[in-house]
Amino acid sequence: MGTFWYRVNSRREEIGIRRAMGATEEKIHYLFMAEGIFILTLILIPAVLIEMQFVYADLIPTMGFSEDTKGLYLSDRWSVRLLITNSLTWMLLAAVMMLSIWYPARRAGKITPIDALRDE
């Protein structure tokens, strides 16, 4: 939350200009939320590539794996496991990010253009 608070406060002039041009509180709130989701999704690409290298190098063992049960369990299928774990991780991080952005973005949307531009 502190990171997003800092980001909002460092962009007060931009928010003031947007408010002066007619942006509503909801629009500013939406822009910060969309930016957070975009950054999270952008970071997902190198994270998945690194994770695939770990799986390829067999550094992430599967519990209970043996030649007798190979492919029988969902956790033995690395592509399905990769998809499920990354999807759940992304959703959890998105929820935490939305909660962290919510208050600073709401507060930023209530800034009057005069107050925001006065800092400039």
How many folded domains does the chain comprise?
Answer: 1
Query: Is 90 exceeded by the pLDDT of residue 56?
Result: no
Q: Residue 87: what pLDDT?
A: 93
Q: Residue 103: what pLDDT?
A: 86
Note down the domain range covering 27. Answer: 2-118
Residue 5, sorted as left (phi over 0), alpha (psi -120 to 50) or beta, turns out to be: alpha
Q: Would you say how long the chain is, in residues?
A: 120
How far from the centroid of its chain's Cα atoms is residue 13's Cα?
24
More confident residue, 21 or 113: 21
Q: What is the pTM of this model?
A: 0.74
